[in-house]
Structure 1
Amino acid sequence: MDGLDDPKQSTADMTAFVQNLLQQMQARFQTMSESIVTKIDDMGGRINELEQSINDLRAEMGTEASSSPLAPSGKSDEAK
């Protein structure tokens, strides 16, 4: 009868091993997913800051250009 118990125990051990391995993989995948989402959120924030900086620079250039005597020629180039 011991011969029949060994394959059953071996199957149970293998099942437990595979389940444990899958749980570890799922945990690692979850950690990586959270890390990726965090990095994407950070990049989105940086892009928003960059867009705001560009808009601020454009506004400054527009203010400086309007007070400059060469402003009309600069604006007509932009319009084209």
Structure 2
Amino acid sequence: MKPTQTNFKFDYALERLKPWLPIIQGVLQQTQDRFQHMSDQIIRRIDDMTKRIDDLEKNISDVMAQNQIEQQQP
């Protein structure tokens, strides 16, 4: 194939795709937005679980400390 034929076919294909480009860009943007939303939710849930684990560890430490105090009392 000659370079001009290749360029012509590429240009022709590009022209045929132009009406679809906004639709494709819209779908890609929606997909990106959904992934970002899911990512944000996951990060919030991880942060929440981290806080809960920290609270649980503190409560366990408090219970253990209280238990030691009670065992030391006659």
The normalised TM-score by structure 1 is: 0.70
| Number of the residue aligned with 1:52 | 58
List, as ranges, runs of 4+ consecutive aligned residues in structure 1 with deviation greater than 3 Å: none
Larger RCO of the pair (alpha carbons < 8 Å, separation 6+): 1
Q: Distance in 1 between matches of 2:29 and 2:18?
A: 16
Amino-acid identity (%): 38
Q: Give the unaligned 5+ runs of structure 2.
A: 1-13
State the AA in 2 paired with 1:63: I
Give RMSD over aligned pairs.
1.7
Aligned pairs (5 A) from 1:1-80? 8=15, 10-68=16-74
Between the two proteins, the alignment pairs up a number of residues equal to: 62
